[in-house]
Structure 1
Amino acid sequence: MSTVANDFSDVIQEHLQIINQLTGSKPLITAASKLIISTLVSGHKILLCGNGGSAADCQHFAAELVIRYHKNRRAYPAIALTTDSSILTAHPNDFSFDSLFSRQVEALGAEGDCLIAISTSGNSENIMQASITAKQRNMTVIGLMGGDGGHLKSLVDMPIIIPSKTTARIQEAHMIIYHWWCEMVDEVDHD
């Protein structure tokens, strides 16, 4: 029988340490919330891309924006580029997995839109290419990353970096950030 590397208390302590470090990123996280709000209220959309657990985060965040978070309010346009199974299988088959998201940004992104690029390593090639394409289309790019931000940090307008190498802790911090962004969107207008 294998043993667990960390006691659950150790996991909680690691989580709390990472979450407490978010206060150092508060100005950038706040600026990103204002950008998301201004993008949405001006009639533009949010596109999101990520791999694995970050893909699930894209879907989660998009659903909160389109449907609602806590308060009833108008629906906002947010598209997780991680959900169309035909695109997700056809593009890598016909072209390359590296350009999977950039192709969708090319098709769906427009000037004034915002791309939220999520990569726990900051080095996912398909996320970097999507960010480059978004910038070419005069979109603003918010990056949610971990570790040292990898190569992605230099390709985005707002690099929000979680200083951890543990994927689970990075994703937990990302969720807290985008849930707070949802709360800020809820405050814009509601019934």
Structure 2
Amino acid sequence: MLLRLRVSLPDRPGGLGQVAKSLGALGADIMQVTVLEREAGRAVDDFTVSWPGPVTASEARDRLSAMPGVRVEGVWATKEVPGSALDYDLLMHVVSQPARGFAALVDALPGLCGAEWSVALADGAVRHASLAAPAKFELNLPEPPPRAATMDANELRLMLLPVVAQGLHLVVARADGPVFHRAELERAARIVDVVAKLAARA
């Protein structure tokens, strides 16, 4: 099964290699590594791994937490395919069909953000929802905020991505895993900005 692991480790030469070696000893095949931050002597990395056989998130966390100096911040199942270029695929789709830009964006955001679902809200109503989105979604939101933000609500980790010119809130949610990292938020916000500009041409 594919898992995503968020690991905080000492930022020193060989630190990443030690984690990789430990993951290999546990039977995990590392498919992708994303560096989210490096500061205050520590690094935060996301590992996408293929783990043979069924393994629960708590089992993976317990095994990894035994490594000296390593903190496991989150373990969750993922469907993202390492090495795929979902962001480029999305942008090509929006360029070819800009009128469907926001619908395509909402459909793509869960895969781009390691999340489960997303919705576009306007005036309290759902304008478009990804496949796994709940039938009803209630969240008291102000007018579109001036910048992207994260929050927790109803046991969900949420990313709020405003499209002020369209009066939209884009909401991305995941139930498992840690809160969205600022690097994830910034990447999603840039993608939203590009799609908004392309869709405006329609």
What is the TM-score normalised by the length of structure 1? 0.28
Which structure has greater helix proportion? 1
Higher relative contact order (CA 8 A, sep 6+): 1
Q: Kindly indicate which of the two structures has a greater share of residues assigned to strand.
A: 2
- Larger Rg, first or second structure (1 or 2): 2
TM-score under structure 2 normalisation?
0.27
